[in-house]
Amino acid sequence: MDLFAEMQARGHEQIDFFYEPEFGIKGVVAIHNTALGPALGGCRMWNYQSEKDAVIDVLRLSRGMTYKAAVSGLDLGGGKAVIIGDPKTDKSEALWRAFGRFVQGMGGRYITAEDVGTSVEDIAIVRRETRYVVGIAQDQGGGGDPSRVTARGVFAGLRAAVEARLGRKDLEGLKVAIQGVGHVGMYLARLLHRNGARLFVSDIDSSRVSEAIEKYAAQAVGLDEIYGLDVDVFAPCALGAVVNDDTIDRFRCTVIAGGANNVLYNPRHGEELVKRNILYAPDYVVNAGGVINVYQELNGYNEEEALRKADAIYHTLREIFDLSKKENIAPYQASDRLAEARIRRAKDGRKDRLHNLYLPGR
């Protein structure tokens, strides 16, 4: 593959290849953009079919991190690492130490964290070799599980979308379908229940559904049934790509806002939702609480501050919806534009007025 052409197409600054000779483990780190700060993004371990697949994935994911950090007002750039290997059989202390030394060698241009296929325990080993790592346990001075902060951000984004589409600030009696009541979904259920919303939940794990019924008076719905429910909001909190050719005509909700990553199977589904008059709150804006939480670790973790920043997702979303209306573009395009504008301002050295207004403590 033509690496420079791939970098050019997506605007990447740097790709680093990593090889651990004793175990033959291969990895790639991509730095997309550092105009706003060091490139931060998790390390994914996956059994990629080919080296090319791994490179394409790391380029795609690192670019996504640039946009997420920028639109969230964080002083961070976008990066990502992938390790080619089976997370079930190929992990070892030596591997994580070698990866840690490699990250340390990058001198802080890239900061790593947990991701698909890596665990808190793996990251704890990486941390023995580098200080450029976040997402560490609370008893070691980190922020621990980010799900509570993520759910708080999803709640803020959902409120902004409901206000923009339904013209109401209160959530009393609002019907919300939550797909997946795992870490994020369950915290979200709690916040919505406290604010008077009526909940419908689905999960492949029936114990999670039972918990939501018991604690938050939720109603159980089928795994497939959830797409066609007559509700105000559909909140995907399990899987990506749930807005696709098979589901798009089934939605009867007016708002889609949830914690899952990559909700749209394809960007064109964002435009399809506009045509169907469904307001889609872009996933990477709504679920930025996770990166907001680890960002806080860089200056000494403070949960209150992380929650305040997650609450500010409300304002970011309002701005995105306003721009989308004004420019007659889909919300996901409006959020990309806001992110790009912020990066451009940083490059030009102009004052970043937008996010200084909204983010507390900055």
Give the residue nearest to ligand NAD (CB): 182
Q: Give the list of residues 6+ apart from residue 109 with CB closer than 8 angstroms, or none.
A: 14, 31, 34, 38, 39, 79
Length of the chain: 362
Distance of alpha carbon 95 from alpha carbon 22, whole angstroms? 9
Nearest residue to 161 (alpha-carbon basis) of 36, 24, 277, 254? 254
Near ligand NAD by CB under 6 A: residue from 147, 296, 324, 333: 147
- What backbone torsions phi and psi does residue 248 show, to the nearest 5 degrees? -55, -35
The Cα angle at residue 115 between residues 31 and 257, in degrees rounded to 5: 95
Near ligand NAD by CB under 6 A: residue from 1, 94, 217, 223: 223
Near ligand NAD by CB under 6 A: residue from 260, 285, 339, 359: 260
Binding flag, residue 150, ligand NAD (CB under 6 A): yes
Near ligand NAD by CB under 6 A: residue from 79, 180, 270, 331: 180
Binding flag, residue 249, ligand NAD (CB under 6 A): no
Near ligand NAD by CB under 6 A: residue from 205, 304, 322, 327: 205
Residue with the two structure tokens 């808190």? 120
Segment holding 179, helix H or strand E: strand 175-179
Q: Annotate each residue in 181-200 with x if it binds ligand NAD (CB under 6 A) or - if it does not, as one string.
A: xxxxx---------------
Exposure of 11 in the CB half-sphere (CA atoms within 13 A): 15
Segment holding 158, helix H or strand E: helix 147-166
What tokens does 211 get?
């918990």
Cβ-based nearer residue to ligand NAD, 204 or 217? 204
> Is 326 an active-site residue?
no
Least distance in angstroms from the C-beta of 61 to ligand NAD = 12
The interface region with ligand NAD, picked from 210-218, 232-240, 299-307, 313-321 by CB under 6 A, is 232-240
The interface region with ligand NAD, picked from 45-53, 82-90, 259-267, 315-323 by CB under 6 A, is 259-267
User: What residue ranges bind ligand NAD (CB under 6 A)?
Assistant: 146-147, 150, 179-185, 202-205, 208, 223, 237-239, 259-261, 287, 290
| Catalytic positions | 80
